[in-house]
Amino acid sequence: MDSAELLDILGNENRRRILRLLSRRPCYVTEISEYLGVSPKAVIDHLRKLEDAGLIESRTDDQRRKYFSISRNLRLEVSVSPYEFGMKSAYPASANLDVSRWRYLSLNVQLDAEETDETNETDADDDEERTEAEDGAEDDETVEQATGLAEELDELQQLQRELSLAQRWVHGRIADVQNRLGDALDGEDESRLHAEVLSAVAGGGSSVGEISRAVEAPEHVVDACLSELADGGFVERDEDGEWSLAEK
Amino acid sequence: MDSAELLDILGNENRRRILRLLSRRPCYVTEISEYLGVSPKAVIDHLRKLEDAGLIESRTDDQRRKYFSISRNLRLEVSVSPYEFGMKSAYPASANLDVSRWRYLSLNVQLDAEETDETNETDADDDEERTEAEDGAEDDETVEQATGLAEELDELQQLQRELSLAQRWVHGRIADVQNRLGDALDGEDESRLHAEVLSAVAGGGSSVGEISRAVEAPEHVVDACLSELADGGFVERDEDGEWSLAEK
């Protein structure tokens, strides 16, 4: 689903309240209607939009009553600054993603989840025996597993908060650098595009096509911009027509 | 501004298009109206909402014509999963934030921005002299400053992409652990709250009040939940009534 569609869906208070309710537990239409104080007809309308967007799904219980739950993991990020309006929505990255090999970022978390998972599977045979244990106190293994997972969850949530703070810090730094770069390039209206183009060249974009894709502007506009930057001595073109930052 | 208000504002395509336009350059109402193909009256209405939310601001030019630009740096994050519907909006974190002391995260970037800033200020006296330099080629110092900033910008943007990917990875890991924790706690409807409470205890919440705030549920509900978790042997209470995970 694209970010625009997601923002249209989330830009309605009752739909947000439905999602919050369903994140606590699956619900019937009548429950949602009572909780929101909104007619079942209006609830069904919101549920249909959420279902069409793939955010929720419905099942039927033993009495053939339909109930709804959230079906999808999804993240949406929106950044607003004088130089940028960006939206991005994405599904969770794979658990197998190699998080140890980033260039600018290191995560200091225990990555033992996979092993725990395997332990669960080899233990599957004991499951029935275990559920027949006396009511009340669980056996030691269940307790150990649950408290281990609770600790892992807490650690991941703290990492999530740090990542969020880091994003805010980077967002502020980027706006600041864009601002100073705009000033250095004379503060004209067009200097924002000049700043973006210069940054794309710094990032390794060397052909007009690559730079044009990086800044999302037409090639003839980028071409004119590169010529002006070259006149100013900021960038230079080699014999093959590849652009790079001017040698200091 | 709170996240709900921000989502209401962003849940309109024309307002999003206005923000995208203004992030490229400040504009007059007539320009925006032509660009969007929407009547000036409707544009003024959208601009008023954006201005009331503090996202944009207006100035008047020499001919006393009003023009608009984005006034604010802001980030919005929304997470959706079967266990969570969270929204968070925040201003950029201070540039002085000590990013080297996080527990779960390290950022591997050059943090020389402050120094560059100071250099600029001490150089302020030379500014007039410099702007009188011949048209076309800029002096070496300006070029060096601009290309340095462009490199810094590119590095920060790469870090931003890594942070975003890291967020998606953590989001997936959290949903996975919540899922397994829910299973370990017997998979009842109420197990989601049990899982949250257990994770809050793991995170150091020891009084009912603290835990209740962490999971955003009323104290009597949390109290009942803790009793059930204690019956299962997952948590225990000491003489002072403080809760902790059960000793393994």
Domain membership flag for residue B94: no
Written as six digits, the tokens of B107 are 């950022």
Percent of chain B surpassing pLDDT 70: 86
Model pLDDT, residue A11: 95
Contact at 8 Å (CB) between A56 and A71?
yes
Domain count, chain B: 2
> Cα separation of A207 and B247, whole Å?
62
Written as six digits, the tokens of B105 are 């995260």
Q: How far is CA A135 from CA A132, A145, B192, in A?
A: 8, 18, 20
Domain membership flag for residue B185: no
A119 touches chain B (CB under 8 A): no
> Cα separation of B199 and B243, whole Å?
12
Domain membership flag for residue A125: no
Domain membership flag for residue B201: yes
Domain boundary among A22, A49, A70: A70
Range of the domain at A48: 3-70
Domain boundary among B39, B55, B70: B70
The answer to whether the Cβ–Cβ distance between A78 and B75 falls below 8 Å is: yes
- In chain A, the largest separation of any two C-alpha atoms, in whole Å, equals 83
Domain membership flag for residue A101: no
Chain A residue at shortest CA distance from B159: A104
Phi, psi of B32 (to 5 degrees): -65, -45
Average pLDDT over residues A153-167: 87
Domain membership flag for residue B32: yes
Contact at 8 Å (CB) between A139 and A133?
yes
Report CA Rg, chain B: 26
> Cα separation of A74 and A72, whole Å?
6
The answer to whether the Cβ–Cβ distance between A234 and B199 falls below 8 Å is: no
Is the per-residue pLDDT at A32 higher than 80? Answer: yes
Name beta bridge partners: A66. A60
Q: Which helix (H) or strand (E) holds A219?
A: helix A219-231
Question: Running DSSP on this structure, what letter comes out for residue B112?
Answer: -
Predicted structure pTM score = 0.76
Q: Taking CB atoms and an 8 Å cutoff, what residues of chain B touch A178?
A: 153
Out of A12, A26, A90, name the one closest to residue B168 (CB).
A90
Tell me which residue of B51, B48, B29 sits closest to B40, measured CA to CA.
Answer: B29
CATH of the domain at B23: 1.10.10.10
Q: What is the ipTM of this complex?
A: 0.76
pLDDT range class, residue A203, cuts 50, 70, 90: confident
> Cα separation of B10 and A131, whole Å?
49
pLDDT range class, residue A103, cuts 50, 70, 90: confident
In the A/B pair of chains, how many CB contacts fall below 8 A?
382
Domain boundary among B46, B70, B94: B70
**In terms of pLDDT, which residue wins out, A130 or B91?**
B91
Domain membership flag for residue A105: no
pLDDT tens track for A142-158: 888 888 898 888 888 88
The answer to whether the Cβ–Cβ distance between A95 and B173 falls below 8 Å is: yes
Contact at 8 Å (CB) between A143 and B234?
yes
Domain membership flag for residue B85: no
Contacts 24+ apart (CB under 8 A), B29-35: B29/B66, B29/B68, B32/B68
